[in-house]
Amino acid sequence: MKKFSVVIAGGGSTYTPGIVMMLLDNLDRFPLRKLKLYDNDRERQAVLGEALDIVMKENAPDIEYSFTTDPEEAFTDIDFCFAHIRTGKYEMREKDEKIPLKHGVVGQETCGPGGIAYGMRSIGDMIELIDIMEKYSPDAWMLNYSNPAAIVAEACRVLRPNSKVLNICDMPVGTLRRMSHIIGIEPKDLEVRYFGLNHFGWWTSIKDKEGHEYLPQIRDYVAENGYLTQKEVDTQHTDASWQETHKKAKDLLAVDPRFLPNTYLKYYFYPDYVVEHSNPEFTRANEVIAGREKTVFSTARNIIERGTAEGCEFEMGAHAVFIVDLARAIAFNTHERMLLIVENNGAIANFDDDAMVEVPCIIGSDGPEPLSQGKIPEFQRALMYQQVTVEKLVVQAYIEGSYQKLWQALTLSKTVPSAKVAKEILDDLIEANKAYWPELH
């Protein structure tokens, strides 16, 4: 079987160890010859890099492993780049969340003003990463988790339309695990229909391979419990604040009981509730710093101190399964069905061709083939058009350096009450993002 070379960009990410463990677990299905980590923060990466060096030596000594901050070394001779970078790191995520809250508006990593601010930081770094990859390995694929995926995907569509980049999200995969637990059927035995934008979509069908429809059964459960399950079904999305989000899906479903909602619709349907239940002094960024980041980095330090990874507890879940399965689908032309963020081009019949949408695709060596989802109802269509226009305006604002367009984007976001509040938030965000955003005029 052919063997592949993978670079993980954002090697210092909290998700890197999980993906590496998953790659090791899948060597029989997706064999590796090389694995490299690449980050622009030497110190942060060194901790995970050295710990994973021990893991690799103990588990797969034949795979050439290295970690580096040098782009040429990282991107030469690779078949895949798995990207999950965070421009500005948690320090800036905290500001994305806290600045809007100061103005009584949702403070969230990827939705509303926080997501817009993060988008303005991510675009430049992502485009640079694509260019580096194409310079050193022109045939490679980039599988990108870096957020905000909706804005990054639109930037790729506009600025690098021919690049081999697939933007992905783990939320539908994670939620499908919950649905699968509810009905007692393995996720791999389910086929879904879904339409929407990233972090803004709905399932319209959940069937087993024989064609039996489970949506009504899942809907009855979600109407009572949201996506909360008695037993934990994944290693991700388990903190108390996530449980609250899974539970809130009950109120999302109530707005349109025909379809099963993505959890992220909470920020658009119930922004008042979200603000009331947020602590402006301690947001999700603070929880992650005190939780996942601490756990992952102390596990790594512990491995380095002990000099062995025996009994090591790096977690791997649906997030890691998805990216490894996707790479395998491209590598071996498997034509599996997965949700990806792609240019619409008719997949949603009554939505703009040039919108980046999230829909099921058949995926093989030539990339994704989006599956037709038919026409969508006017309620969802109108919401999506508003949100996709926010995303398009952000990308235009970035390219043109336009204050006006970014103000319009914030004003149009369903999470922001008025142009006045939008302007106040924008001016604070500009100040906080001076080191990252292009100058606006």
CB 228 within 8 A of CB 247: yes
Contact segment (CB under 6 A) with ligand G6P among 71-79, 168-176, 363-371, 394-402 equals 168-176
Considering the complex, what minimum distance in angstroms separates the CB of residue 267 from ligand G6P?
A: 12
Is 169 among the residues that bind ligand G6P (CB under 6 A)? yes
Q: Sheet containing 80-83: which strands, arranged edge to edge?
A: 64-68, 32-38, 4-9, 80-83, 141-144, 165-167, 336-343, 356-364, 367-370
Residue with the shortest CB distance to ligand NAD? 12
Q: At what angle do helices 419-432 and 403-412 cross, to 10 degrees?
A: 120
Q: Which is nearer to ligand NAD, 35 or 422 (CB)?
A: 35
C-alpha–C-alpha distance, residues 266 and 225, integer Å: 15
Torsion of CA 34, 67, 50, 141, to 10 degrees: -60
- The reply on whether position 147 binds ligand G6P by CB under 6 A is yes
Q: Are 115 and 105 in contact (CB under 8 A)?
A: no
Residue 171 binds ligand G6P, judged by CB under 6 A? yes
**284 forms part of the interface with ligand G6P (CB under 6 A):** yes
Question: Taking CB under 6 A as the criterion, which residues in 298-357 touch ligand NAD?
Answer: 319
Q: Residue 118: which of 110, 106, 126 has the closest Cα?
A: 110
Q: In this complex, which beta carbon is closest to Mn ion, that of residue 169 or of residue 320? A: 169
Q: For residue 43, which amino acid is it?
A: E
CB atoms inside a 10 Å sphere around CB 234: 19
Q: Using CB under 6 A, which of 25, 33, 58, 90 touches ligand NAD?
A: 90
The verdict on whether residue 33 carries a ligand-binding annotation is no
Task: Examine residue 145 and tell whether it contacts ligand NAD (CB under 6 A).
Answer: yes
**Is 433 known to sit in a ligand binding site?**
no
Identify the H or E element spanning 178: helix 171-183
Binding segment for ligand G6P (CB under 6 A), chosen from 4-12, 64-72, 115-123, 163-171, is: 163-171
Q: Please check if 335 is assigned to a binding site.
A: no
According to the binding rule CB under 6 A, does residue 181 interact with ligand NAD?
A: no
Answer yes or no: are the C-beta atoms of 318 and 170 closer than 8 Å.
Answer: yes
Q: Which is nearer to Mn ion, 59 or 235 (CB)?
A: 235
Q: Which residues are catalytic, by number?
A: 170, 264
User: Is 176 a residue that touches Mn ion (CB under 5 A)?
Assistant: no
Q: Scanning the structure block, which residue is given the tokens 């993060």?
A: 118
The answer to whether residue 96 forms part of the interface with ligand G6P (CB under 6 A) is: no
Confirm or reject binding of residue 125 to ligand NAD (CB under 6 A). yes
- Which partner in ligand NAD, Mn ion, ligand G6P, none is near 391 (CB below 5 to 8 A by kind)? none
Residue 111's binding partner out of Mn ion, ligand G6P, ligand NAD, none, with CB under 5 to 8 Å set by partner kind: none
- Report which residue type is found at 179: M
* 315: CB partners within 8 A, 6+ apart: 18, 21, 235
Nearer to Mn ion, 171 or 359 (CB): 171
Coil, strand or helix: which one is 432? helix
Q: Helix-strand-coil percent breakdown of the chain, rounded to 5? A: 50, 15, 35
The answer to whether the CB of 48 falls within 8 A of the CB of 17 is: yes
284 contact choice in ligand G6P, Mn ion, ligand NAD, none (CB below 5 to 8 Å, kind-dependent): ligand G6P
Q: Which of residues 287-306 bind ligand G6P (CB under 6 A)?
A: 288
| List 85, 275, 312, 339, residue binding ligand NAD (CB under 6 A) | 85
Spatial contact of 166 and 326, defined as CB atoms under 8 Å apart: yes
Measured at CB, which residue is nearest to Mn ion? 169
Among 40, 235, 389, 402, binds ligand NAD (CB under 6 A): 40
Q: Is 363 in the site for Mn ion (CB under 5 A)?
A: no
170 near ligand G6P, rule: CB under 6 A: yes
393 contacts: CB under 8 Å, gap ≥ 6: 405, 406, 408, 409, 412
Residue 279 is given by DSSP the state -
Q: Any binding-site annotation on 144?
A: no
Residue 8 is a binding residue for ligand NAD (CB under 6 A): no
Picking from 94, 80, 2, the residue whose alpha carbon sits closest to that of residue 38 is 80
Is 151 a binder of Mn ion (CB under 5 A)?
no
Instruction: Name the residues that contact ligand NAD, by CB under 6 A.
Output: 9-10, 12-15, 39-41, 44, 84-87, 89-90, 125, 145-147, 149, 169-171, 319
Footprint on this chain of Mn ion (rule: CB under 5 A): 169, 171
